Amino acid sequence: MKIDFPFENSRFLGYISHINPQYCKVHFPSSTLLNKNIYSGEEFNGGLIGNFISIEAENYGFIGRISEIDLPEKERLALTEKSFRLFDFHPTAKIEILFAFDYYNEELIQSIATQPNIGSKVFACSNEFIKKFISNFGVKNDEDLKINLGHLTSSAGTNVMVSQQSIFNRHCAIVGTTGGGKSWTVTKLIESVKTNNSKAILIDATGEYANQKAKVKSLILGEDTYFPYQKMTKQDFHYLVKPSEGVQVPKLAEAIKSLKMVRKYYENIENKVNSQKKYHEDFKKFIVHDGLIDKSEKSNIEFNRFYLMHYEEIENDDFNLDIQLIAKQISYECIYPTNRDKADLFGSENSNDKNFCYPMISRINHIINSKMYNSIFNFNNNECNSSNNLIAEIEEFIKDEQSEYKILRIGFEKVSYDFQVREILANIIGRYLLNKARSYYFKENPLILFIDEAHQFLKKDSNLDYFYAAKLDAFDQIAKESRKNGLFLCLSTQMPRDIPVGTLSQIGTFIVHRLINFNDKEAIRQASSTASNDLLTYLPNLGEGEAILTGVDFKIPLILKIHSPKVPPDSSTPKFKNKS
């Protein structure tokens, strides 16, 4: 039977000899106390970096972790192979205090007012005792869903069951260099979400998770599904077109307004709304062939009257218009604001404005006629059934009664890297889900949004070169405001330094695999409130699949070996072969 008493004399190591707010030091009376020993069938290595220790203090017990071991200066000078065999040494160790616990009920206590005393005894801590605090890590009540995430690196038999609520409640980030095990961790979390009958959408940057089949609906943008451009916003279209400051921005805005007015006019006719009123008939004279608007030398009073009657519908942010007409409509917008002789009329054609707009018109024609863009946004308005429409697929997936699929994988493997279309498209999807969250759609049934290779999508801007440019900030807004509305982010990235600071600062849980770059480690240190400098020194030395779990809902940071997923992602490195 294993012993879980924290202060067993057979596991005695030494005495507290130094205390400050960040750490304490332990004096070992003999170096032999650091040797490997077996008590009650359990192996103890008192002198290994990362091992847990327990401290018997006056009012509380303490759990700490060894972060450094050293010999006093005078003993280091006398250290030889012979002396090491014949004489005893007196090492010291730096201990990171993780938490205090009450002797009577063993509840965790975290307070600067609780510190061990000088001379307090230090013991190697048993796995059974540690299990009391980490077997249900972050679980706050019996209703919390649990994830069997991994086991302690210092004890393969000590599994860590974490609360799904605590992992995602304040958003989650999985970071680490290539080959560190990020993809396995993402897959493990996805499998756990399925097991717990929760729902998640995965933006798969490279197709790495295409082999996930059970309870997964897999869609590939540009191949078997498209995002309908009508669900874009005017701002999204600006990201694609990139109009320049000055003439192009207002002319594009006017063209969008005119085409939306035409759409409203025909809707009124179809629905027989206000068809007899004079302002409706007056507007008809502005419409020329193919549903375009020509305002040249016509009454601006009659035009503006129709506009003001439908102001809210025309000036809303939707993009529900015939995009094939927009380039031609921009040409029609290149007129003088007023007539020189009659102030109540629009002016004639302005050739200078047309010349300024030709580059933008060319870009628009290229975009709407490009095979790649058409496969993603369906600019040609091809007749497609709802199974090809990504918005229809998302709407069907998030329905409460839909229980066949728990994961919706949106594959970006066929989406081009040119012209920032990947970032723009991901941002469009993110904004769509953000608007759903703002309407409290996920309040009762939360949704997790996984973003793989997040550094590809969470760029700070769209490289627009005019003042109107807003940032690609949908995920930043989700991180800041959607937690209370039931939409949670889980980011996976090799380069946390490339994630916008506003997004990273909202992350509450970090699963950190091996990191080497100083800026990456610094980004994690600044974003995580519970990751100490001592803990982050482990990052370059973590093995494959090993990670540090730290977060605001977890009282202590842990170093884990993540359990293997049932179906590993397709992330293996191609091997060189001798073909001779």
**Contact indicator for 491, 173 with CB cutoff of 8 Å:** yes
Mean pLDDT (whole number) for 230-251: 89
Stretch among 171-180, 423-432, 518-527 having the lowest mean pLDDT: 518-527
State the pLDDT at residue 460: 55
Quick check: 385 pLDDT over 70? no
CA dist list (Å): 353 to 127, 238, 333: 76, 19, 9
Q: Is the pLDDT of residue 59 over 70?
A: yes
Answer with the residue of higher pLDDT: 305 or 537: 305
User: Quick one: pLDDT at residue 468?
Assistant: 43
Does position 396 have pLDDT exceeding 70, yes or no?
yes
Q: With cut-offs at 50, 70 and 90, classify the pLDDT of residue 553.
A: confident
Residue 116 has a CB neighbour count (10 Å cut-off) of 24
| Mean pLDDT for the chain overall | 86
Please write the tens of the pLDDT for every residue from 16-55. 999 987 789 999 888 777 777 776 667 777 677 888 889 9
**Quick one: pLDDT band at residue 1, thresholds 50, 70, 90?**
very low
Contact 190, 580 (CB under 8 A): no
Pick the closest to residue 320 from 241, 247, 256 (CA basis).
256
475 class by beta-carbon count within 10 Å (0-12 exposed, 13-18 middle, 19+ buried): buried
Q: Write the DSSP string, 31-69.
A: GGGGSEEEETTEEEETTSTT-EEEEE-SS-EEEEEEEEE
* Range scoring the smallest mean pLDDT among 278-282, 334-338, 518-522: 278-282
Mean pLDDT within 264-272 = 84
What's the mean pLDDT in 117-122? 92
Give pLDDT, residue 418.
78
The SS3 of residue 260 is: helix
pLDDT digits 0-9 by tens, 410-453: 999 999 887 788 998 999 999 999 999 999 999 999 999 999 99
**Range with the poorest average pLDDT among 84-88, 119-123, 395-399:** 84-88
Cα-Cα-Cα-Cα torsion 540, 562, 4, 49, nearest 10 degrees, comes to -10
Band of pLDDT at residue 2, cut at 50, 70 and 90 = very low
Output 281 or 113, whichever has higher pLDDT: 281
- The answer to whether 392 touches 386, Cβ cutoff 8 Å, is yes
What's the whole-number mean pLDDT along residues 454-475? 66
pLDDT category at 4 given cuts 50, 70, 90 is low
Task: From 86, 120, 114, 84, select the one nearest 99 (Cα to Cα).
Answer: 114
Element (H, E) at 305: helix 300-309
Closest among 296, 133, 110, 323 to 236, alpha carbons compared: 323
Find, among 494, 511, 509, 491, the residue nearest to 563 by Cα: 511
Tell me what pLDDT residue 547 has: 93
- Whether the predicted pLDDT of 525 surpasses 70: yes
What number is the average pLDDT over the span 309-323? 89
What φ, ψ does residue 93 adopt, rounded to 5°? -135, 145
| Band of pLDDT at residue 354, cut at 50, 70 and 90 | very high
Question: Given a cut of 60, is residue 331 above it in pLDDT?
Answer: yes
Cα–Cα distance between 72 and 92 in angstroms, integer? Answer: 7
| pLDDT-based confidence at residue 216 (cuts at 50, 70, 90) | very high
What does the DSSP 8-state code read for residue 446?
-
- Please spell the DSSP secondary structure of 315-341, one letter per residue: HSSB--S-GGGHHHHHHHH-B-SS-SS
Rounded CA separation 299/285 (Å): 10
Evaluate if residue 507 carries a pLDDT over 80: yes
Q: Label residue 274 by pLDDT band (50, 70, 90).
A: low
Q: Is 126 exposed, middle or buried (0-12, 13-18, 19+ CB in 10 A)?
A: buried
| CB neighbourhood size of 196 (10 A) | 13
pTM score, two decimals? 0.85
pLDDT given at position 86: 65
Query: What phi, psi does 162 have (nearest 5°)?
Result: -105, 155
Once rounded to an integer, what is the mean pLDDT over residues 135-164?
81
Asked whether 326 and 259 are in contact (CB, 8 A), the reply is: yes
Q: Which of 70-84, 229-243, 453-467 has the lowest mean pLDDT?
A: 453-467
